[in-house]
């Protein structure tokens, strides 16, 4: 049993949960030879490319990452034939980032199977009411962080 002095802050608990999720996801993604961050970029492209052309700047802004970081991720994804870079029809200075068939396959398989499994793992020790309360509380926390 925990001593009263061992109570962890919410921030530390959230960081620990995030670390565990990343560890599980990275292990699951080993079969594709990609990392969690690479998978997140693939998901971003998958859901955005249906509505608009995606270029590297869009990815940098969304993930709040530097140009060299996203360049490295895209280079590795391109080397694995998961994305392509094609000149934009509107402005040849920009490259449109698109998923290949294999990239799309990974996203669809991971999204349908692994996302559901992770969700179930996250709430497996909670009752239905507790899971609903957790979701509501996390939404409140997120909204509070967005204020100001």
Q: Which are the contacts of 89, defined by CB distance < 8 A and separation ≥ 6?
A: none
In a domain, 26, yes or no: yes
Residue 140 maps to which CATH number? Answer: 1.10.10.10
What's the pTM value of the predicted model, to 2 decimals? 0.76
Q: Rounded distance, CA 75 to CA 88, Å?
A: 18
Alpha-carbon distance of 79 to 112, in angstroms, equals: 25
In the three-class reduction of DSSP (H, G, I as helix; E, B as strand; rest coil), residue 96 is classed as strand
In a domain, residue 3? The reply is: no
Q: Is residue 5 part of a domain?
A: no
Burial class (CB in 10 A: 0-12, 13-18, 19+), 6: exposed
Q: What is the pLDDT of residue 148?
A: 66
**Residue 6, in any domain of the structure:** no
Q: Which pLDDT value is given to residue 109?
A: 84
Q: How many domains does the chain have?
A: 1
pLDDT in tens, the chain (148 residues): 445 557 779 889 999 999 999 999 889 889 999 999 999 999 999 999 889 999 999 999 999 999 999 999 999 999 999 999 999 888 888 899 999 999 999 998 877 777 788 889 999 999 999 999 999 999 999 888 887 6
How much is the pLDDT for 62?
94
List Cβ neighbours of 83 (8 Å cut-off, separation of 6 or more): 42, 45, 74, 77, 97, 98, 99, 100, 103
User: Helices H, strands E: what count in the chain?
Assistant: 7, 2
Whether residue 45 lies inside any domain: the answer is yes
pLDDT at res. 5? 57
Tell me which residue range forms the domain holding 132.
11-146
Question: Distance between CA atoms of 54 and 42, rounded to whole angstroms?
Answer: 11
- CA-CA distance, 46 to 124, in Å (whole number)? 29
Q: Which residues pair with 5 in a beta bridge?
A: none
91: phi then psi, degrees, rounded to nearest 5: -150, 105
């Amino acid at each position: 049993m925990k001593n009263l002095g061992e109570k962890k802050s919410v921030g530390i608990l959230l960081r620990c949960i995030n670390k565990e999720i990343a560890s599980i996801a990275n292990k699951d993604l080993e079969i594709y030879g990609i990392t969690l961050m690479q998978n997140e970029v693939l998901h971003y492209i998958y859901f955005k490319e249906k509505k608009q052309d995606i270029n590297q700047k869009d990815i940098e802004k969304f993930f709040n990452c530097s140009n060299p970081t996203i360049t490295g991720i895209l280079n590795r994804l391109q080397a694995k034939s998961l994305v392509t870079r094609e000149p934009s029809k509107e402005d040849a200075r920009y490259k449109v980032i698109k998923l290949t068939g294999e990239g799309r396959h990974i996203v669809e398989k991971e999204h349908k199977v692994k996302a559901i499994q992770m969700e179930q793992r996250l709430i497996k020790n909670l009752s239905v009411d507790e899971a609903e309360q957790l979701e509501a509380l996390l939404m409140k926390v997120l909204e509070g962080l967005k204020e100001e």
